[in-house]
């Protein structure tokens, strides 16, 4: 039996299982808390408890692709799960997260809300009818916050369509008197700022790329504790941390996939730790280099 003192409880519990079972554990989604995430979760909690008013505050969380925006939203939804409400007429869903349609399409936006709620609807129904149905259901379930991922998608259509979609968001927030939370890249900030009234209501909050500092080293130590490897990896060591930062280019999503790949390799190879030899063996290509290689293929 391996001690596993370098691991958290969940990882220690599977440490003596087979390689296949440990790899299955390694590949499962995990939440790694860090200071900026906690600050934003606290901000979302503040918005959720904001009293209803004709001008509700909203939040726009901005970050590069793979910065951890969707992970953060999913975590908040998990912390505020739906209540089946068996004695009532409908389930209580205080927080709903959806993905913006691939273009500024009002009808598809309503479809996304209805699908997220498993509500029956007619895709060919007129937009006005869908709007009535969505507002009725959202009031019925007691919605208190709507999170919209990939808000930058509204920039992919004509300007008139973009403005129309932004007006839909404004109307939805006004009618329901709930905070809206947008997630997206820097283009999302441009999309919201295209409407002065929306720009005044959406407070921007950044998820910046990671830097080589104590916070990053603490993040690495937290990751290490979740992987059921039998030897300490000491990821927070400055030399290893510098290497991981370069390979992930400061992206939390890239870092998570990179470490998962390294941990799987460490089990398969018998190394049982994620050291520089393992990082070299998995032949990880940083995202910018992957883009350059893809461009050369075109």
pLDDT tens for residues 80-89? 999 988 887 7
pLDDT of residue 200: 84
Q: How far apart are CA 142 and CA 86, in angstroms?
A: 15
pLDDT of residue 1: 54
| pLDDT of the residue at 298 | 66
Helix, strand, or coil (residue 208): coil
Query: Which residue bears the tokens 């007429």?
Result: 89
Q: How far apart are CA 266 and CA 73, in angstroms?
A: 31
Please, is 35 exposed, middle or buried when counting C-beta atoms within 10 Å of its C-beta (0-12, 13-18, 19+)?
A: exposed
Which residues of the chain carry a pLDDT beneath 50?
none
CA-to-CA distance for 16 and 182, rounded, in angstroms?
Answer: 43
- In sequence order, what DSSP letters do the residues of 69-114 get, joined into one string? HHHHHHHHHHHS--B--TTSSS-B-SEEEEE--SSS-HHHHHHHHH
Query: Do β-strands 145-149 and 95-99 pair in parallel, antiparallel, or remain unpaired?
Result: parallel
């Amino acid at each position: 039996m391996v001690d596993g003192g370098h691991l958290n409880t969940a990882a220690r519990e599977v440490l003596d299982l087979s390689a296949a079972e440990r790899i299955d554990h390694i590949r499962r989604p995990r939440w790694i808390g860090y200071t900026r995430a906690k600050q934003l979760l606290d901000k979302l909690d503040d918005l959720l408890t904001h009293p209803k008013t004709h001008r509700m505050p909203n939040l726009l969380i901005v970050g590069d692709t793979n910065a951890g925006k969707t992970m953060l939203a999913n975590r908040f939804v998990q912390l505020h799960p739906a209540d089946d409400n068996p004695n009532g007429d409908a389930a209580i869903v205080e927080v709903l997260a959806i993905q913006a349609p691939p273009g500024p399409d009002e009808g598809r936006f309503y479809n996304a809300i209805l699908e997220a709620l498993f509500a029956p609807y007619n895709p060919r129904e007129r937009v006005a009818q869908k709007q009535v149905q969505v507002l009725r259901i959202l009031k019925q379930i007691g919605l208190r916050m709507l999170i919209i991922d990939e808000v930058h998608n509204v920039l992919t259509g004509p300007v008139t369509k973009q403005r129309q979609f932004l007006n839909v968001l404004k109307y939805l927030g006004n009618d329901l008197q709930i905070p809206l939370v947008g997630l997206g890249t820097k283009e999302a900030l441009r999309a919201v700022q295209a409407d002065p009234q929306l720009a005044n209501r959406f407070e921007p909050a950044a998820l910046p790329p990671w830097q080589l500092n104590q916070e990053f080293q603490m993040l690495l130590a937290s990751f290490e504790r979740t992987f059921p490897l039998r030897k300490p990896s000491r990821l927070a060591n400055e030399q290893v941390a510098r290497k991981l930062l370069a390979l992930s280019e400061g992206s939390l999503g890239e870092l998570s996939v990179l470490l998962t790949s390294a941990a799987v390799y460490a089990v398969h190879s018998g190394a049982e730790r994620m050291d520089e030899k393992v990082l070299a063996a998995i032949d990880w290509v940083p995202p910018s280099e992957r883009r350059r290689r893809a461009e050369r293929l075109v």
